[in-house]
A = this chain, B = another copy of it.
Amino acid sequence: MSRYGLDNLPYGVFSEPGGSRRLGVRLGSRVVDLSPLGGLLAQPSLTPLLAAGRARWTAARAAVIGFAASAPGIPLTGVTLHLPFEVADYTDFYSSQWHALNVGEILRPDAPGLPPHWRHLPIGYHGRSSTVVVSGTPVARPAGQLGRGVFGPSRRLDVEAEVGFVVGTPGRRIPTSAFADHVFGVVLVNDWSARDIQAWEYRPLGPFLAKSFATSVSPWVVPLEALATIDAPVQDPPPLDYLLPAGPGFDLRLSVDWNGTRVTNPPFASMYWTAAQQLAHLTVNGATVRTGDLYASGTVSGPSRDEVGSFLELTRNGTEPVKLADGSLRGFLLDGDTVTIGGTAPGAGSNLIGLGEVTGTVVA
């Protein structure tokens, strides 16, 4: 069965050659133009629907399922896909304990292990909205300071495979129980990272130029309704009250392909903090989220080497290169390399559904 059947129907924005942007859903290898449905579905962006709230999302989905079942659709090969919504604030978390442990061990060998607060709150930071780009956008290798007195193109360009959550309804102090009232759906995210720039710049205010040159997202926003939920992971120590109940987990299985070679399969179910907890934490201080806010999970890494979500971890900071299908070795990204992050999830029905793909090619 297709992973883009009527039980999935992720939303995206497309255009045909010379045509304007329209909202559509993916059905198999076609996109169904939603403009005949009018109203919020006849817009050049997903943003108006995002702003409309959970009741309208549910109604829209019902209408879209009925319409898509008999719509001819347009082959995906004939359309261009665009960033599906206007990104308001972009934040990124650090919620995989395996990733945090690996990074600590590789980059801070003098103090390995999790930071003391890691199991008490979902650590996060703000990223750059202006450079969130849609899958397929070439990624120019960033230049910057690579160390004391050294300037040039990054030599340790990396990826981070993540899952992004798209906020529809604005709010502040959002309890975990209200997660699905505010979050519309999910995208896949590649948080491109220049490790040499990062190592030199990040103290004490966090990553800045190491991340801000590009963040790629998949063109398809999978509605929460399409996803089955699982129990959240066990958390020890028990989180503070404002982070409870933990909210749903999602059993997403990611894949990372490096020039067509599958190098890892990061398991989202292994994440420590849930998306509901991340949203509750983000807003507990009174900060507002807006329609179009995007918050990402942080690199998804499981406990084994073939489950990590970054090449820093996969190649132990470049010291243990991986062999690609063409026989070449890689520590970090070379110009011309293409990375594609894909994913599947148990759907709300019995089927596996696809999460779209986020791909990007490094250019000099």
A67 within 8 A of B: no
Min distance, Cβ A222 to any Cβ of chain B, angstroms? 24
| Among listed A35-43, A201-209, A226-234, A307-315, interface-contacting one | A201-209
Residues of chain B contacted by A282 (CB below 8 angstroms): 209, 212
Query: Contact between B130 and A209 (Cβ–Cβ < 8 Å)?
Result: no
Min distance, Cβ A168 to any Cβ of chain B, angstroms? 14
Copies of chain A in the complex: 2
With the chains together, A124 CA to B203 CA distance in Å? 10
B126, B213, B287: the one within 8 Å of A126 (CB): B126
Query: Contact between A284 and B209 (Cβ–Cβ < 8 Å)?
Result: yes
Count A-side interface residues using an 8 Å CB cutoff: 56
Known: A121-B145, A130-B89, A204-B115. A197 touches B293 (CB 8 A): no
Query: Contact between B89 and A129 (Cβ–Cβ < 8 Å)?
Result: yes
Q: Which residues, 165 to 205 on A, are CB-close (under 8 Å) to B?
A: 194, 197, 200-205
Min distance, Cβ A121 to any Cβ of chain B, angstroms? 5
Instruction: Digitize A135-158: 1 where CB-to-B-CB distance is under 8 Å, 0 elsewhere.
Output: 000001011110011010000000
Which 5 pairs between the two chains have the least Cβ-Cβ distance? Answer: A206-B206, A142-B285, A126-B126, A125-B205, A205-B206
Residues on A close to B: CB < 8 A? 88-89, 91, 94, 108, 115-117, 120-121, 123-131, 140, 142-145, 148-149, 151, 194, 197, 200-209, 212-214, 237, 240-242, 281-282, 284-290, 293
